[in-house]
Amino acid sequence: MAGIWERVTVDPTDEAQLRLNVSLLETELTGVALGIRTRAAAKANLEAELGQALSGAEATDLAAIADEFDAGTTQQRLVYAHKIKFVLNAAELQLIDETEFRAVLGI
């Protein structure tokens, strides 16, 4: 399935792969969750890093993650922030697959 997964995981066979810095993605998502960053500003910062617009599937995933934050209590948001950190780092290190990535994030 196309989406944000392709931007954070490493494909060793794709030398031209444009990846998102997972720390930047985590920072922007945390900013959205804390109300420090708007969704539009976070998306713009990610696109500036990539040098291109996010695809429709990538933008949909980003919105779904932000929706998960919006739906939770403070405690649920904190837990979700840790889940994000886990999946982004695990994906980058090729420790999980896309199915687990999406299941942990609920997207």
Cβ atoms 42, 31 nearer than 8 A: yes
The answer on pLDDT for 1 being more than 70 is no
How much is the pLDDT for 37? 92
What would the pLDDT profile of 9-40 be if each residue is shown by its tens digit? 977 787 777 889 999 999 999 898 888 999 99
Instruction: Please give the Cα distance from 33 to 38 (Å, whole number).
Output: 9
Name the pTM for this structure. Answer: 0.85
The domain spans of the chain are 5-9+17-105
CA distances (Å), origin 75, targets 32, 34, 68: 16, 12, 13
What would the pLDDT profile of 56-98 be if each residue is shown by its tens digit? 999 999 999 999 888 888 898 889 989 999 999 999 999 999 9
Instruction: Please give the Cα distance from 93 to 71 (Å, whole number).
Output: 29
Q: What is the mean pLDDT of residues 3-7?
A: 91
